[in-house]
Chain A
């Protein structure tokens, strides 16, 4: 079956532009996560959805960042008025929802955002 897909794979934006990054999770996966990975660093948590509900957005760095998952499947991460410090790889991950057992998070290939 298909894995997690993300589009676009690469995005170049001029400072001040708005961007939208898309994530298609694995079919049937209830949980969806967004992470930001700066160059030379590990991924850092941004936000988490369970179906369409955004249960945790504590990692969003500013109010310029907004994420949605209106129908509980595809998710979009939107960044308004991009800044150079937003340049990073944005990773999406999905997982099944099970009881008290580890649910592997399956990652997409990421979107590399470069803000000029």
Chain B
């Protein structure tokens, strides 16, 4: 079983600044995946980025990067050059193994970008 902790209920960031959203996880699985989803006010979950537990390089997808520190069990999301459209809820999550597994999510961080 996995447990995801997101300690920042809300964050306010000036437009164009970088922002780091914190995520720590607890799992007994040897193989696991970590990921981030964005949920705008419209409600749909939008996949952002994925990191496998055996991946040595931090994952990057455009303006998103995942700062993976395995020993500290953290998987922070970094958004560079924030935009107004980045305002949304962000959920960190994990799955046991790789692929076709149920996802376990944290409670989320509400990010608000200030113009």
Contact = CB atoms under 8 A, between A and B. Distances in A.
Contacts, number: 63
Nearest to A99: B99
A42 B44 contact: no
A62 interface: no
Given A43-B91, A109-B42, A100 B98 contact: yes
Interface in A66-116: 89, 91, 93, 95, 97-110, 112
Interface string B71-115: 000000000000000000001010000111011111110000000
Interface of B: 4, 33, 35, 37, 42-47, 50, 52, 91, 93, 98-100, 102-108
Interface of A: 31, 33, 35, 40-45, 48, 50, 56, 59, 89, 91, 93, 95, 97-110, 112
